[in-house]
Amino acid sequence: MSLHPRPEVENLEICPHGGLNHAELRTMGLAPDEVLDFSVCSNPFPPPLGVREILNTVAINRYPDSEATEFRQRLSERLAIARDNILAGSGAVELIRLIALAYFRRGDSVLILEPTFGEYEVTCRIAGTEVLKQWVSLDESSTPRIEKTVNLIRQHHPRGIFICNPNNPVGQYLSQQEIEMILDTLRDGLLILDEAYIAFMDESWSSIDLISRGNVVV
């Protein structure tokens, strides 16, 4: 008898992103250094010399602090929030999947504003949730877009909603007022606010105060 993974996993479609496929580039006659990868949020410049010197002192042959205590403490001081509100992980995808594992049950519905980061849907599929999608058109002003989101929440009562803000790949950036409109409607659901690309904004607002609502993960 052969064993099979859960249907949600067996039928999963791969979400290509993050990092260049060198084999694919070779078939196109391209070298990795000739391609700019905008599917990831990374610094195109090498690290400063001071950072390199510090890295030389790190014991990379040892497992790091499993609680990331010092990192979380420094970040809590910088952001002025409690250290217990900070979770460290190995990249955004790990944290996104941990959120789904902790809060979503099979059969729950989760709303995703598209086009956006494909791992949101992959995560929801793994969790066995129903995926609701709202296609966001840049030709439409922000007010009608948010009204559609609010109406979808009222209609389906999703367990969660993923919002990439600013959004990759379209660059849309929702204001604090627009996010609060969504939160006021969501209430019993969880808002996952992905700000991986916030550093690209010339002007941005702080979402830290939203954490006190109790149903927001940033």
Q: Please name the helix (run of DSSP H) or strand (run of DSSP E) that holds residue 110, with its range, or none.
A: strand 109-114
Express each pLDDT in 5-39 by its tens digit: 998 888 888 887 777 889 989 999 999 888 887 77
Kindly report the pTM of this predicted structure: 0.87
The DSSP bridge partners found for residue 192 are 162, 217
168 vs 175 pLDDT, higher one: 175
Express each pLDDT in 97-113 by its tens digit: 999 999 999 999 999 99
Domain 95-217 has CATH 3.90.740.10: no
pLDDT value for 20? 82
For the chain, the structural domain boundaries read 95-217
Burial of 43 (C-beta count, 10 Å sphere; 0-12/13-18/19+): exposed
CA distance 116 to 152: 18
The amino acid present at 160, given as its one-letter code, is: G
